[in-house]
Structure 1
Amino acid sequence: MTDQTNLPPHNIELEQALLGAVLTNNDAFWRVSDFLDPGHFFEPIHGQIFEIMASLIRVGKSATPATLKTFLPEKLTPDMGMSHYLALLAREAVSVINAIDFGGHIRVLAVRRRLCDVAALTQDLARNASSDQTASMLIETVEKELFALAERNGGAGGVQPFSVALLKAVDMAGKAYQRDGHLSGTATGLRDLDKVMGGLQRSDLIILAGRPAMGKTSLATNIAYKIADAFSAQLTADGKEETINGGRVLFFSLEMSGEQLATRILSEQAEVASSDIRRGAIHENQFQRIVDVSQRLNRLPLYIDDTGGMNIAQLCARARRQKRQTGIDLIVVDYLQLLSGSGGKAREGRVQELTEITTSLKALAKELDVPVVALSQLSRQVESRDDKRPQLADLRESGSIEQDADVVLFVYREEYYLRAREPKEGTAQHIDWASQMEQARGRADVIIGKQRHGPTGAVTLAFDAWLTRFSDLSNPVSEEPIS
């Protein structure tokens, strides 16, 4: 066993008492299984014993000294056999009632040990940082470690058995089966898109790209609103709030102000054109609708950060902070090309800088276990082609974007390009044009150019230009401002 001198916070007796409680009464395991993991134990052999007990009990088998010893080394120390040690644990057992308190103390000690590790890392960084590491980079490194600790609350992290990952996959499938629409991810509120994508998947980096005026910001705003509006949660056994529908959204608006973003959502929900809201060209009934809708929107778990000139390190730090404070289920970044790198990469050129940005966003999605939707511009080469439908090669500085993204979506509106090519009235070409225009009016294609865990293709949505609103095709589209 481990040498007990000069060691971080721990309590071997507590660990032995809890393990003994489970050995003598397996019901004690279920009292601590929601919050205690093998990695919380200071003594490695105790963590191993707890893990084996958990695997036996979860499949309905008994965990006793007799059943455990076949899975453990024959000797604990040269002077003590494993069978004898397990018998001693059972003899020193606490009651089932005390198991929760003992398990809680063991977990707190694990958190304290991890804090010692973070403190040592902080001191090492402060003393031995290289010349190319900026202050913000050092702070981000420490903040990232603290966030990981806060999220795990002392969990093991690191390497995990395949069985653990498998349990998570089965749990995800079960939740998808029980959820409305049978989606494995967070529903966008757009039925046809959700059918193809299964919703927005946790830890995915989703690139939403398009040329100007295609409506990519509108689509992102629509999705953010629908997810925030559908939010509901429940308390888990350990007192944490678990999202069961919709989600809390953090929207980084690097181009538009928070007021402009709010106006878009208000316009869509009150069914009053945003241009009329800005000009004050509304009548009393419309104003009353705006007031009523604003009171409902005021309760949305939608958080906006409209800080301009942000770099990727600052964005990641703010996202971690928001996750700790309120919880987050979706991050939206509008848009990639307005972000800057964190110092060194910016000096190496824009391609390297964007590589850092997309790699960091993918890492952030995985770290926070949320989907990250990042908007991106397309290169002008789209405009030089007869076929304006975007492709992966049209992504600006596309190498890193395409490589790091789990999903790439393109927004394309044929109506926009047809309107600019109207032939002279009265000609045969104008008749053909009018027919094409009729088919394209009020429609937008969301082209799935890449999807790691699903098919590619196109989904056609309705687009209401007056309200900058995307919806399913079955929903009506207005051609005039709604009064």
Structure 2
Amino acid sequence: MATSALSLTDTPAETRTAPHNIEIERQLLGAILVNNETFYRVTDFLEPTHFFVEQHRQIYEKTAHLIRAGKVASPITVKTFFPANAKFGDTPVTQYLLRLAADATTIINAEDYGRTLTDLALRRALITVGEDMVNVAYDSPIDATPRHQIEDVERKLFSLAESGRFEGGFGSFGDAVTLAVDMAAAAFERSGQLSGISTGLVDLDRQVGGLQSSDLIILAGRPAMGKTSLATNIAFNIAKAYKAETLPDGSPKTVDGGIVGFFSLEMSSEQLATRILAEQSGVSSSKIRRGDIDVDQFNQLAATAQEMRALPLYIDQSGGLTIGQLSARARRLKRQRGLDVLVIDYLQLLQGSGKRASDSRVQEITEITTGLKALAKELNVPVLALSQLSRQVENRDDKRPQLADLRESGSIEQDADVVMFVYREEYYLKSRMPKEGTEEFFEWQAQMEQVTARAEVIVGKQRHGPTGTVNLQFDAEVTRFSSLAPDDHLPSRLD
């Protein structure tokens, strides 16, 4: 007789209670009611939701309100905030509160008890994530693909790993002020005295204060302006300056520079590495690809490559990523190796979730920019996203980009904290060369001398500071940006 496959319904599943410890909850609440100083041992990390028993959540919440208001929280004062005929099970409120006080632990054990409750709450949250994952997998909606489910689970798990809970909430202004002072102290100690991460370009840092954590920074420009080159320059400078110290718990803390994640949606990792190698070695990338180099140049390449090998710069060359996939990979990188700056080249090559076929490209870009801003806040890192500009720039006499030129969606300007444009007058002027020997040619030649090897980074929007233009040196042969030497530092002319 053939044996049929065992169905999930053949054997009833064992009913299990979620992890909890009612005795610890009772003893900790009792300790707070007996000695209100106990509350301050746990208030920084213990929330009402960490209690398993609903009545204990209510008692902790009402007790916390009383203590924060400067009042005494005791079984007698707390009972007045419950209905007179209320019962916890079969026990009247007053009697239940008095029993808690009788079961109180000592204040010395309070923090350990509180940590135990948060750990148990975290385990219950993990169970909830697992149950939700199983239920959605069994009864998946039509518009929810397995890929979307994986991304959602990764987001929830990352949230648990970072904060130990799903939801945020209001924090006090005092905490915000403390963070602001800490940021100022870090800026004072950091090289260059910047509140953000240095780009390695002094004049640009002076204008924007470095790359700020949780900011979405848009770097836009027309083709051939050098967007990718500037982004790779900044990424390399940050990775090269990386320094970290070990905290007492053994985890690393970035002191200067940073760990960089680079999503290269357009170029392969080999092409990107070749470009960075050319920028740093001074050997043209076209010569590197052709092998048109001498022994000295090869030795320079080898030395530069050896230096670059140890840099904390990680490249993802996958094309056609959705915003959800990109977010999941960024979370994974931060969890496994750390992450201080995220670079995306470029925004228009990302895809939305694709939930509705009727969604326009404008709606899709809106979803992408909103997702990138949310990711910057979630990971608490600056996100530098490159963007194309519309062709209307080419129809103007002055081809310097403006905010209105951002392609496909006003949400790019709206969601971004900083918008920068790369502009090189040399590129446009070179194509307008008049006939040699004419008066127009000499005027053109004089203009070319002024703009050759120069680039402008136009800060068109900045939430934290002023807008303006930063002039940079640009070496077109190796596509390298660098700070422009001030006139008073230039060598004297020989007449």
- Could you say whether these structures have the same fold, taking a TM-score greater than 0.5 normalized by the shorter chain as the test? yes
SS at match of 1:80: helix
Runs of 5+ unmatched residues, structure 2: 1-14, 83-91, 488-495
1:38 aligns with one of 44, 47, 50: 47
1:397 to partner: Cα distance: 0.3
Q: Distance in 2 between matches of 1:350 and 1:421?
A: 35
Higher mean Cα deviation, 284-293 or 169-178? 169-178
**Larger displacement relative to structure 2 (214-223 or 265-274):** 265-274
CA contact (8 A) 1:76 1:85 kept: no
Q: Indicate the residue corresponding to 2:94 in structure 1.
A: 80
1:417 aligns to 2:428 (yes or no):
yes
Letter in 2 for 1:10: H
Looking at structure 2, the residues matched to 245 and 192 of structure 1 have their Cα atoms a distance apart, in angstroms, of 18
Deviation at 1:110, TM superposition (A): 2.2
- Mapped to 2, the partners of 1:304 and 1:405 lie a distance apart of 23
Equivalent-residue separation in structure 1 for 2:43 and 2:244 (angstroms): 22
1:127 Cα deviation (Å)? 4.4
Amino acid at match of 1:159: G
Change (3 A) 1:331 1:374: same
1:180-199 alignment to 2 at 5 Å? 180-199=191-210
Provide the C-alpha distance between the structure 1 equivalents of 2:350 and 2:93, rounded to a whole number of angstroms: 62
Is residue 474 of structure 1 aligned with residue 488 of structure 2?
no
Determine helix, strand or coil for the equivalent of 2:245.
Answer: strand
C-alpha spacing 1:23/1:257, structure 2 compared with 1 (3 Å): farther
Could you report, residue by residue, the CA deviation over 1:461-483 in whole angstroms, capped at 9, with x for unpaired residues?
1111122111111299xxxxxxx
Partner Cα separation in structure 2 for residue 37 and residue 166 of structure 1: 22
SS where residue 410 of structure 2 aligns? helix
Q: Distance in 2 between matches of 1:23 and 1:474?
A: 69
Most deviating of 126-135 and 285-294: 126-135
Shift of 1:442: 1.4
When structure 1 is superposed on structure 2, of 465-474 and 211-220 the one drifting more is 465-474
- Return the letter of the residue paired with 2:106: A
Q: Secondary structure at the match of 1:459?
A: strand
Which residue among 298, 316, 336 is the counterpart of 2:327?
Answer: 316
Between 1:345-354 and 1:305-314, the stretch displaced more is 345-354
Aligned with residue 21 of structure 2, among 11, 24, 40 = 11
Give the CA deviation at 1:381: 1.3
| Contact 2:159 2:165 (8 Å CA) reproduced | no
Number of residue-to-residue matches in the alignment: 457
Structure 1 residue 109 displacement after superposition? 1.2
Kindly indicate whether the alpha-carbon contact (under 8 Å) linking 2:46 and 2:114 is maintained by their aligned counterparts in 1.
no
In structure 2, the partner of 1:286 is 297
**Matches of 2:96 and 2:386, distance apart in 1:** 58
Q: CA deviation at 1:25?
A: 11
Quick one: structure 1 residues 40 and 414, their matched pair in 2 at CA, closer, same or farther if it must change by over 3 Å? same
CA distance in 1, matches of 2:380, 2:304: 32
Give the distance between the partners of 1:54 and 1:240, measured in 2 at CA: 35
> Alignment partner of 2:469: what SS?
strand
CA contact (8 A) 1:340 1:346 kept: no
For 1:44, the aligned partner's letter is R
Equivalent positions of 1:72-111 (< 5 A) are 73=78, 75=80, 79-80=93-94, 88=102, 92-93=105-106, 95=108, 102-111=113-122
Mapped partners of 2:58, 2:357: distance in 1: 48
In the TM superposition, 1:114-129 aligns within 5 A as 114-129=125-140
Residues 1:269 and 1:431: Cα distance change in structure 2 (over 3 Å): same
User: How is 1:70-469 mapped onto 2 (pairs within 5 angstroms)?
Assistant: 73=78, 75=80, 79-80=93-94, 88=102, 92-93=105-106, 95=108, 102-152=113-163, 154-155=164-165, 157-163=167-173, 164-345=175-356, 347-469=358-480
Q: 1:175 to 1:412 in 2, by over 3 A?
A: same
CA distance in 2, matches of 1:463, 1:371: 24
Matches of 1:125 and 1:330 in 2, distance apart?
33
Q: What is the CA–CA distance in structure 1 between the aligned matches of 2:49 and 2:307, rounded to whole Å?
A: 44
Q: Distance in 1 between matches of 2:376 and 2:248?
A: 26
Name the CA shift for 1:346/1:175 in 2 (closer, same or farther; >3 Å): farther
Distance 1:367 1:111 in 2: 19
Aligned AA (1:463) = F
Equivalent position of 1:59 in the other structure? none
Contact 1:331 1:373 in 2 (8 A): yes
Residues 399/330 of structure 1: CA separation in 2 closer, same or farther (3 Å cut):
same
Alpha-carbon distance, 1:49 to partner = 8.7
Structure 2 vs 1, CA of residues 398 and 343 (structure 1 numbering), >3 Å: closer, same or farther? closer
Offset at residue 261 of structure 1 (A):
0.8
Distance 2:228 2:418 in 1: 17
| TM-score (ref. length: structure 1) | 0.84
**Do the aligned residues in 2 keep the contact of 1:445 with 1:461 (CA within 8 Å)?**
yes
Code of the residue aligned with 1:265 in structure 2: it is I
Separation in 2 of the partners of 1:149 and 1:211?
A: 41
The one-letter code matched in structure 1 to 2:264 is: S
Cα RMSD for the two superposed structures: 3.4
Q: Secondary structure at the match of 1:418?
A: helix
Relative to 1, partners in 2 of residues 1:410 and 1:69: Cα closer, same or farther, differing over 3 Å? farther
Determine helix, strand or coil for the equivalent of 1:398: coil
CA distance in 2, matches of 1:161, 1:317: 27
The worse-fitting range, judged by mean Cα deviation, of 257-266 and 354-363 is: 354-363
The answer on whether the counterparts of 1:76 and 1:82 sit within 8 Å (CA) in structure 2 is no
The structure-2 alpha-carbon separation of the partners of 1:29 and 1:416, relative to structure 1 and needing over 3 Å to count, comes to same
SS at match of 1:227: helix
Deviation of 1:303 after TM superposition, in Å, equals: 0.6
Does the C-alpha gap of structure 1 residues 407 and 467 become closer, same or farther in structure 2, counting only changes over 3 Å? same
TM-score by structure 2 length?
0.82
Cα distance change, pair 23–221 in 1 and its aligned pair in 2 (3 A): farther
Partner of 1:479: none
Query: Contact 2:390–2:406 at 8 Å: present in 1 too?
Result: yes
* 1:38 aligned partner, one-letter code: E
State the shift of 1:180 in Å: 2.5
CA contact (8 A) 1:231 1:247 kept: yes
What is the CA deviation profile of residues 115-168 of structure 1, one whole-angstrom value per residue up to 9, with x for unaligned ones? 12212332443345432223222222222111111121x147421233343433
Pair 232,25 (structure 1): closer, same or farther in 2 beyond 3 Å: farther
CA contact (8 A) 1:345 1:356 kept: no
How far the C-alpha of 1:12 sits from its partner, in A, is 4.0
User: 1:233 aligns to what SS in structure 2?
Assistant: strand
Tell me, yes or no, if the aligned pair for 2:36 and 2:72 is still in contact at 8 Å: no
Aligned equivalent of 2:87: none
